Chain A
């Protein structure tokens, strides 16, 4: 059974800092890993999708890496802004191409 853990559960940083969010998973037989952003009471917005054959993906100030062998992914946010404040979730999709397993998220607060 796949288990996904996100550390830390909460993070507060001053504006302008570079930061790293962590995601670890127990079963390395994955199809892909997806990072999402969730604002309070809202749905999930996809940030980055990394296929199992890829090592990283970049979009603007965001960079996500994947190390299947160690069961880890990181989301790097450069030059953080107050608008980045949200909960960040990672989801791991198994080889059965069906469900994704989510972590409980990291709640990020960026202070002006």
Chain B
């Protein structure tokens, strides 16, 4: 049973560039959430996708955008990268209502230089 798959695992980008991160949810899950985790801190909620729509959004600028595809996979796009965007980006999938917890992927480590 495949869990949550994220790609790539590591990425180095230059300030001002754009990046796309990808996530395939656990089999049977239809909801994808994205989190940003800075070193030494807990994950911060970016947004959540369900039925191909953004359902909730955290306190992140419009430079952060996403998409969910009909097969429930998702992308996170970040434009005009800043040094402060360097972090571990985590994708979490879940199913149905909140009765079920999250399953997280291994994350994408983004370094902006």
Contacts and interface: CB of A to CB of B under 8 A. Distances in A.
Partners in one complex: yes
A87 B48 CA distance: 25
Contact of A99 (B58, B88, B97, B101): B58
Contacts of B2: none
B102 A104 contact: no
Interface stretch (B12-20, B67-75, B78-86, B104-112): B104-112
Interface string A32-60: 10101000011111100101000000000
A36 B56 contact: no
A36 B43 CA distance: 11
Contact of B48 (A42, A99, A101): A99
Contacts of B98: 31-32, 93, 97-98
Given A41-B109, A46-B101, A46-B104, A102 B33 contact: no
Contact of A44 (B48, B58, B99, B104): B104
Contact of B56 (A4, A43, A49, A98): A98
Contacts of A101: 45
A100 B92 CA distance: 11
Contacts, number: 64
Given A32-B99, A98-B55, A43 B42 contact: no
B103 A46 contact: yes
B32 interface: no
A96 B42 contact: no
Interface of B: 4, 6, 33, 35, 40-45, 48, 55-56, 58, 88, 90, 92, 97-107, 109
10 contacts: A4-B42, A32-B101, A34-B102, A43-B90, A43-B106, A44-B102, A44-B104, A46-B103, A91-B42, A105-B42
